[in-house]
Amino acid sequence: MLLPELPEYLSNMGGADYIGFIVGLFTVTAGGSRFWSGRLAERIGRVKVMIFGTIITAICGALYMFTFSILTFLLLRLVHGLSTGWRPTGSTAYLADISPQGRLGEAMGYLGVAGSTGMALGPALGSFIKEEVSFDALFIASSIVGIVALIMTLLLPESKKEVRQLKFSDFNVFKGKSLNFDTWAPALVTLFETFAFGVVITLSPDLVDHLGFKYKGMFNLTFVLASIAMRVIAGKASDRHGRIPLLTVGMLLLIISMFIIGNAETKLIVVIGGIVYGLAIGINRPTTFAWTADEANPNEVALSLATMLLALEIGIGSGAFISGSLYAGDVSNIPFVFAIAAGMASVSFIFVLYRWFLQYRKR
């Protein structure tokens, strides 16, 4: 709900030069949280980890009303990042626990459909509320949605069979595992792939505003709807045909979409680019989650997912910071920045293509 409008909100405070920090700072704490969220999800349970992340969402949404300076705004973005650092780790591990055998990719696809639906409706609704009412109304609405999610989470039964009470020593990341690098391959692919996401969510509000969109969140709606449609298909397809072949197609679509969006000069072209980008996300996200769970030790699924999600936050954060710095408020820089995103995606494409080649040789 907030992302499409936060660049304007920050600019109104004189912080146009800090647009890249909107996503970048959020991902700093989201990424740092992975050192605790995965290990705690294994020890005290998935639901408690999910609840903590959702509480942060419910509180922080409304607090933007009280950020009257660039500093307070940026500090709130840091705190708000804890929500994403905890919630997805718990929810993906929860789903891995309850998924039927042989249908994990399909299940991750459904989880992605739910999340993508929120990502589709949220920006569109958020832009509408801001344009027709006010920024404060947008922030209050965001907080209310977080409260609803919290109530729903509190009703969930715990999926992990053996859990215990939280201990102070659990927060010591130097004692025991915090991450699991046995599943380094999907984490590496995620790292380079999600750089593009950081670029898109940082620069697309200004790009679509330049192209004449009144409701900036409508572009997000475009690519997320395409993602939803693809997730339903891709999850089942990855169970049937394998993770690597699906990812090869997804990475190729991602590269193509970066060139289309970055060089778009009309609303139609940027929408087409958004659709191709959404198809790429719809393939890559559930397939990478399922690939991570496939390769994880059954007792370290949350740790493996936390590691992959840490790579995701680093990718998104670096994409946001770098694109914001290179963009510098000049629309003419956008094609160059998106070309860099295409280059980063190419690294993932080459890697999964190589893995596919190795699988073929083993046959």
One digit per residue, the tens of pLDDT, for the chain of length 363 reads 898 889 889 988 888 888 878 878 888 898 888 888 888 998 999 999 999 999 999 999 999 999 989 999 999 999 999 998 899 889 989 998 998 888 888 888 888 888 878 877 888 889 889 989 999 999 999 999 999 999 999 999 999 888 888 888 888 877 877 888 888 999 999 999 999 998 998 888 888 888 888 777 778 788 888 988 898 788 888 888 888 999 999 999 999 999 999 999 998 999 999 999 999 999 998 899 889 988 888 788 888 888 998 898 899 889 988 998 898 778 889 999 999 999 999 999 999 999 888 877 776
pLDDT of 62 reads 93
| 292 occurs within a structural domain | yes
Q: Would you say 323 and 337 are in contact if contact means Cβ atoms under 8 Å apart? A: yes
| 174 occurs within a structural domain | no
Identify the CA nearest to 253 among candidates 348, 130, 139, 354: 348
Q: Which helix (H) or strand (E) holds 282?
A: helix 267-295
- Residue 151: φ, ψ to 5°: -60, -45
Could you give the number of structural domains in the chain?
Answer: 1
| 14 occurs within a structural domain | yes
| 170 occurs within a structural domain | no
| 144 occurs within a structural domain | yes
Expressed as residue numbers, the domain containing 15 is 6-157+183-362
| 286 occurs within a structural domain | yes
Whole-number Å distance between alpha carbons of 66 and 64: 5
Q: What is the CATH number of the domain that holds 230?
A: 1.20.1250.20
- Residue 240: φ, ψ to 5°: -85, -45
CB neighbour list of residue 231: distance below 8 Å, 6 or more residues apart: 109, 110, 112, 113, 116, 282, 285, 286
| 178 occurs within a structural domain | no
| 81 occurs within a structural domain | yes
Give the count of beta carbons closer than 10 Å to the beta carbon of residue 358.
Answer: 10
User: What's 171's DSSP letter?
Assistant: G
